[in-house]
């Protein structure tokens, strides 16, 4: 299985096989001392793995998001975020701006 790694401007993209595509935007330096929480969104309107990737890109670009994992299979987004920088409502809005619908499923401290 071939993998492609591109590093630039704080973005790391890995692509390959069944593992799919993962996006990582390095916000770590500005959030090193901020507490984080985990939020699960129920996402509606995805029809393929490409939809999940599109939503994931939108989420990781949002200020305050440390990590986002979006699953087409479960129709969910699991987001680790800094509540001092972004609210759950703003995360739902990021999904909606990507063209999908989302509702908060659960919110829990890490």
Task: Report the C-alpha gap between 27 and 43 in whole angstroms.
Answer: 24
Over residues 59-86, the pLDDT tens digits come to 999 999 999 999 999 999 999 999 999 9
Q: What is the pLDDT of residue 53?
A: 94
> pLDDT category, 19, cuts 50, 70, 90?
very low
Q: What is the pLDDT of residue 15?
A: 42
Over residues 40-66, the pLDDT tens digits come to 999 999 999 999 999 999 999 999 999
SS3 69: strand
SS3 34: coil
Task: Report the C-alpha gap between 15 and 2 in whole angstroms.
Answer: 8
* Domain coordinates in residue numbering, the chain: 27-108
Over residues 91-104, the pLDDT tens digits come to 999 999 999 999 99
pTM assigned to the model: 0.70
Looking at the domain 27-108, which fold is it?
Alpha-Beta Plaits (3.30.70)
């Amino acid at each position: 299985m071939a993998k492609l790694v591109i590093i630039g401007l704080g973005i790391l993209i890995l692509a390959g096989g069944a593992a799919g595509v993962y996006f990582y935007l390095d916000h770590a330096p500005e959030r090193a001392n901020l507490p984080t929480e985990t939020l699960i969104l129920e996402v509606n309107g995805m029809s393929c793995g490409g939809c999940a990737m599109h939503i994931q890109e939108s989420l990781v670009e949002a200020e305050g998001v440390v990590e986002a994992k979006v699953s087409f299979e479960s129709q969910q987004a699991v987001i680790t975020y800094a509540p001092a920088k972004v609210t759950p409502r703003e995360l739902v809005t990021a999904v909606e701006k990507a063209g999908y619908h989302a509702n908060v499923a659960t919110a829990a401290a890490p």
